[in-house]
């Protein structure tokens, strides 16, 4: 589970936040194009260039959040006064388990008990539309998962939620309609129309791949190589400048990410002393190793954490690298089995990182 710990040496750094273990996130908003008016004045279009996503939205559903964290968008929909709900949202994550496994988990966790909330009312898997995601993706992916849920407030007032979980490449987009009972069934067709209007194009990444297979980030001036068979994808979180994922399989998806923050004082010695205690305080079962290393010509700090996630043994290797203009954080998360079998290749990928603004 992510830690909610505060590292004092980082508190004075605007733009640094914790996610996982010491995830220093550079607040980088994925590029949203301005809302474009369609000929039909009842709708407008939102376009997220980072994910290559375009969606048609009813005019009355106004955006309240765009590109924040793993939220692609959040729209406010009209409700009765005082309603605790009333949103249409889209969140994105790395696609880890298959839709059939996800459906099995939903049924197992929510068996339809009429006294337990939320209550799963409906679950079905539908084929993908080739016009929406492309013919290759429609043929390769198992479809999309559609579920209907009933919730109750503390006072017993019902409200409803519909989820449509749509795979695209190595990512899973989760669309949700949350509404009070008075509006839900009127909004449901419009929500389905909204999801049906989603189109995926090529994501706009500030990355290029050279002839030797290294990936270069244009804006932040770093480069690295990734293990064979790994795919580079748009980072689901705004702070992820780079994300590569290994082949799907199991409850944990192997991944390598890069984040950054403006260059300011970062005391690696102090972090080395304090991190083991901070991490162990949050996860008593974690085994933590901290070492001062060299990342190319630069001093760096490496933290290796062995713990469990979703019942699976995992290894997390995190490196703090002070750069010429930015401080970089590299995080490798993988199953312990994968780490044992491919340790050399994985550590070579981490070691390949270079800050091209300062390194020769």
Where do the domains of the chain lie? 8-22+204-355, 32-200
Q: Please say if the pLDDT value at position 359 is more than 60.
A: no
More confident residue, 26 or 196: 196
- Candidate CATH numbers 3.10.180.10, 3.40.1000.10, 1.10.300.10, 1.10.10.10; the one for domain 32-200: 3.40.1000.10
Q: What is the pLDDT of residue 349?
A: 96
Could you tell me the pTM of the whole model?
Answer: 0.74
User: Over the chain, what is the mean pLDDT?
Assistant: 82
Q: Does position 15 have pLDDT exceeding 80, yes or no? A: no
Considering only 134-148, 192-206, 282-296, which range has the smallest mean pLDDT? 134-148
- What is the 3-state secondary structure of the chain? CCCCCCCHHHCCCCCCCCCCCCCCCCCCCCCEEEEEECCCCCEEEEEECCCCEEEEEECCCEEEEEEECCEEEEEECCCCCCCCCCEEEEEEEECCCCHHHHHHHHHHHCCCCCCCCCEEEEEEEECCCHHHHCHHHHHHCCCEEEEEEEEECCCCCEEEEEEEEEEECCEEEEEEEEEEHHHHHHHHHHHHHHHHHCEECCCCCCEEECCCCCEEECCCCEEECCCCCCEECCCCCCCCCEEEECCCCCCCCCEEEEEEEECCCCCHHHHHHHHHHHHHHHCCCCEEEEEEEEECCEEEEEEEEEEEECCEEEEEEEEEEECCCEEEEEEEEEEHHHHHHHHHHHHHHHHCCEECCCCC
Q: Which CATH superfamily is domain 8-22+204-355 in?
A: Mog1/PsbP, alpha/beta/alpha sandwich (3.40.1000.10)
Share of residues in the chain with pLDDT > 90 (%): 46
In this predicted structure, the answer to whether residue 59 has a pLDDT above a threshold of 60 is yes
Q: Matching CATH topology for 8-22+204-355 and 32-200? A: yes
Q: What is residue 73's predicted lDDT score, i.e. its pLDDT?
A: 94
Q: 324 pLDDT exceeds 90?
A: no
Q: What is the pLDDT of residues 240-265, one digit of tens each?
A: 899 999 988 777 889 999 999 888 77
The rounded percent of the chain whose pLDDT value lies above 70 is: 84
Residue 84 has pLDDT above 90, yes or no: no
């Amino acid at each position: 589970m992510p830690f909610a710990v505060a590292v004092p040496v980082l508190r004075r750094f605007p733009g640094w936040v914790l996610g996982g273990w010491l995830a220093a996130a550079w607040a980088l908003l994925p590029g949203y194009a301005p809302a474009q008016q369609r000929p039909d004045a009842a709708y407008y279009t939102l376009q997220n260039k980072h994910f290559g996503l375009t969606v048609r939205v009813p005019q009355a559903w106004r955006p309240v959040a765009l590109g924040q964290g793993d939220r692609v968008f959040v729209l406010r929909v009209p409700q009765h006064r005082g309603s605790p709900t009333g949103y249409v949202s889209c969140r994105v994550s790395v696609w880890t388990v298959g839709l059939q496994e996800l459906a099995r988990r939903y049924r197992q966790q929510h068996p339809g008990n009429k006294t337990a909330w939320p209550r799963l009312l409906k679950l079905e898997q539908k084929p993908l539309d080739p016009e929406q995601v492309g013919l290759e993706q429609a043929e390769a992916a198992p479809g999309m998962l559609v579920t209907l849920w009933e919730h109750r407030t503390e006072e017993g007032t019902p409200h409803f939620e519909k989820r449509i979980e749509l795979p695209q490449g190595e990512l899973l987009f989760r669309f949700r309609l949350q509404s009070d009972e008075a509006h839900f069934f009127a909004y449901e067709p419009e929500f389905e129309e909204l999801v049906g209007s989603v189109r995926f194009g090529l994501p706009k990444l500030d990355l290029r791949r050279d002839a030797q297979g290294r990936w270069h980030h244009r804006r932040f001036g770093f480069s690295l190589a990734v293990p064979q068979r790994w795919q580079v994808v748009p980072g689901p979180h705004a702070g992820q400048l780079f994300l590569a994922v290994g082949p799907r399989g199991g409850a944990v998806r192997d991944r390598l990410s890069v984040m950054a923050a403006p260059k300011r004082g970062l005391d690696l010695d102090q972090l080395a002393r304090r991190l083991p205690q901070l991490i162990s305080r949050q996860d008593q079962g974690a085994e933590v190793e901290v070492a001062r290393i060299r990342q190319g010509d630069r001093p760096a700090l490496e933290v290796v954490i062995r713990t469990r996630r979703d019942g699976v043994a995992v290894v997390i290797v995190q490196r703090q690298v002070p750069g010429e203009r930015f401080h970089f954080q590299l995080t490798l998360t993988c199953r312990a089995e994968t780490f044992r079998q491919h340790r050399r290749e994985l550590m070579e990928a981490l070691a390949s990182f270079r800050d091209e603004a300062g390194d020769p």
